Amino acid sequence: MSNYHIKHLEEYYKVYRNSVREPEVFWEEIAEEHFSWRKRWDKVLSWDFKKPEVKWFEGAKLNITENCIDRHLRTKGNKTAILFEPNNPDEEAQHITYNSLYERVNQFANVLKDHAIKKGDRVCIYLPMIPELAISLLACARIGAIHSVVFAGFSATALSTRINDSDCKMVITSDGSYRGKKSIDLKGIVDEGLEDCPGVETVLVAKRINSEIDMKEGRDKWLQPLLNTASKECEPEIIDAEDPLFILYTSGSTGQPKGMVHSTAGYMVYTAYTFKNVFNYRTNDVYWCTADIGWITGHSYIVYGPLANGATTVMFEGVPSYPDFGRFWEIVAKHKITQFYTAPTAIRALAKEKLDFVSKYDLSSLKVLGSVGEPINEEAWHWYNDNVGHGKSPIVDTWWQTETGGIMITPLPYVTPTIPTYATLPFIGIQPALMDENGDEIIGKQVDGRLCIKFPWPSMARTIWGNHQRYKETYFSAYENKYFTGDGALRDAVGYYRITGRVDDVIIVSGHNLGTAPIEDAINEHPAVAESAIVGFPHDIKGNALYGYVIMKEAGESRDPDNVRKEINQIITEHIGPIAKLDKIQFTSGLPKTRSGKIMRRILRKIASNDILNLGDTSTLLNPEVVEEIIDNSL
């Protein structure tokens, strides 16, 4: 019992030491005491990072929805499980109790079954932040179907690529979505995407904006009438601990997005345990994570982690700027939010506005503030601390990844003294390592290197859907016997970690991971473009923005450059989504390349960041003369 909620620093160190010395003993105790199982495991952990293969709680049987819903009904049936705050502040918030969540999930699960969805089938979910989104995840989990949520800001092409990659049989969507003043035709995007997805048999459509949409005979069905007649009881499918719970796509530095596969038992145990400790969750708290469920943060810390703890979790449909820049704080005051978890990009955007938007609200309910998705800069940290937390709510700067499933390096509020920009200490059970360029571990304090994890943790992704080899190459080949994160980090004199950013070609824009290769592929589809290279450069609000260097084909050189710029961003929007649009596009006659033909992005990054004094040695390039030209014309 004692290990479940850590209350002071010595206790953290003690529990951490135990978790590392005897991981099996440690995790077994957590799993045993805080979850319900249909059958106990035969073995707590088996692992081999060379294959790589990791199994937690092998042999155990369970259903995660029994842990997230059923077991709370006896004592918390009338407690709010999901508190839905609509886009429009005049529309009433909805309190979905655990009793009602139980019924709605079961009804939805029965609808899935009626449409031939069974254990192991993949279901794509493309929904805005409405209750049906959380409910559809849980409905899939109830019957053992594997959900693959695609963020509803992705384009039709991005959607169809993801549907086909994991052979989804069904898509769950809505007629449209609200985003601030705008409404978006989601069903139209789905229809377009599905032109290339022959495997999709059924599309279930939730009604949200009451727009006129096309319904394809035999394929498309309105969800609500089906739910209305479905039974409120659905026996949970009994799942093996290692059976996949979901697939979630994340960008890689090259190639197609990677469908990270998460297992059931380990994911449940780790997200629940981290939720309890990282947010210092107590029974009557009202917890709000502003992420979209389309990202891992929403999966782990809007849906599964909070519900496994019987918490009240807020789902917000709208945006921070609507109807004005005070919306977040209005919601905090209205629902007396106790934990508030958001991204640095949102904080930076709000910090730019008049202080009155935040100062006029009573934020005294807040106890913990969280940050996730990218490094939080010192200025944003202080603004958050001073104006939202009033110096009283600790900020937890949580470092983790889609691949890690749960929070990995983080302070524990009221336990770990914080320092701005430091994610501080590894969570219980997490064994980080910093590596040097020769592949050796860097021991000691005040050092920096590439961040790896050298021991398995329960919620790590088990594979990439359909491509285990790529999983091995991406994460387990750079350093022997270690999981490589793709991030750099430093460790200070007391052992605190500070994440310094990506060391590969992934660029984090407004907290969203974007791989350079898919964007370049999209640009190269433009008939006038011969070649392109994308780099990130610092941006006040987004953290990073995208800078594109584009070589035009001879035929395109007479075109108006501004028109071509617009068309390039249009193509990117169609292929990926508006989040991947370029802020700057520079036309150039060449790109700096090594003698083996590799683009020297390091040089392009420096030029884009206006850091041209430290370009380093360019004389070994294949075409050093192009560097001058690029500098002269830089934007």
- Asked if residue 273 binds ligand WTA (CB under 6 A), the reply is no
Rounded CA separation 121/220 (Å): 18
Our finding on whether 262 is near ligand WTA (CB under 6 A) is no
What span, in angstroms and rounded, lies between the C-alpha atoms of 150 and 162? 8
Task: Name the nearest CA neighbour of 306 among 130, 501, 446, 101.
Answer: 101
Residues 6+ apart with CB under 8 A from 570: none
10 Å Cβ neighbour count for 75?
A: 11
Contact with ligand WTA (CB under 6 A): which of 402, 459, 474, 510? 402
Is residue 320 within 8 A of residue 327, CB to CB? The reply is yes
Q: State the pairing for strand pair 432-435/441-442.
A: antiparallel
**Contact present, 269 and 236 (Cβ < 8 Å):** no
- Residue placing its CB nearer to ligand WTA in the complex, 193 or 298: 298
Using CB under 6 A, pick the residue from 270, 399, 465, 549 that binds ligand WTA.
399
Asked if 401 touches ligand WTA (CB under 6 A), the answer is yes
Residue 369 touching ligand WTA (CB under 6 A): no
Distance CA 50, CA 477 (A): 8
Instruction: Give 178 or 483: the residue with its C-beta nearer to ligand WTA.
Output: 483
Q: Which of 373, 456, 515, 548 binds ligand WTA (CB under 6 A)?
A: 373
Residues 332-351 binding ligand WTA (CB under 6 A) are none
Query: Measured from the CB atom, is 402 or 586 closer to ligand WTA?
Result: 402
Judged by beta carbon, residue 257 or residue 486, the one nearer ligand WTA is 486
d(C-alpha 97, C-alpha 95), whole Å: 6
250 contributes a contact to ligand WTA by CB under 6 A: yes
Count, residues near ligand WTA per rule CB under 6 A: 23
Number of residue whose CB is nearest ligand WTA: 402
Maximum C-alpha span of the chain: 74
* Nearer Cβ to ligand WTA (275/549): 275
Look at the block and give the residue holding tokens 């697939």: 247
Closest approach of ligand WTA to the CB of residue 423, in Å: 5
Near ligand WTA by CB under 6 A, which window of 212-220, 233-241, 370-378, 555-563?
370-378
Whether the upstream peptide bond of residue 225 has omega within 30° of 0, thus cis, is no
Q: What are phi and psi of 189, to 5 degrees?
A: -65, -40
Nearer to ligand WTA, 427 or 587 (CB): 427
Residues between 414 and 443 that touch ligand WTA (CB under 6 A): 423
- Minimum gap (Å) between residue 283 Cβ and ligand WTA: 26
Give dist(CA 309, CA 276) in Å, integer: 7
Chain centre distance of CA 81: 22
Q: How far apart are CA 172 and CA 149, in angstroms?
A: 9
Q: Which is nearer to ligand WTA, 106 or 393 (CB)?
A: 393
Q: Which is nearer to ligand WTA, 107 or 300 (CB)?
A: 300
User: Least Å distance between CB 255 and ligand WTA?
Assistant: 16
Decide: 447 and 490 in contact? Cβ < 8 Å: yes
* From candidates 400, 483, 537, 547, binder to ligand WTA by CB under 6 A: 400
In the list 54, 168, 204, 296, the residue contacting ligand WTA (rule: CB under 6 A) is 296
In angstroms, give the least distance from the CB of 320 to ligand WTA.
18
| Ordered DSSP codes for 221-273 | EEHHHHHHTS-S--PPPPEETTSEEEEEEE--SSSSPEEEEEESHHHHHHHHH
Binding ligand WTA (rule: CB under 6 A), the pick from 160, 297, 459, 588 is 297
Binding status of residue 397 toward ligand WTA by CB under 6 A: yes
Q: Which residues bind ligand WTA (CB under 6 A)?
A: 250, 295-297, 371-375, 397-402, 423, 485-487, 499, 502, 508, 513
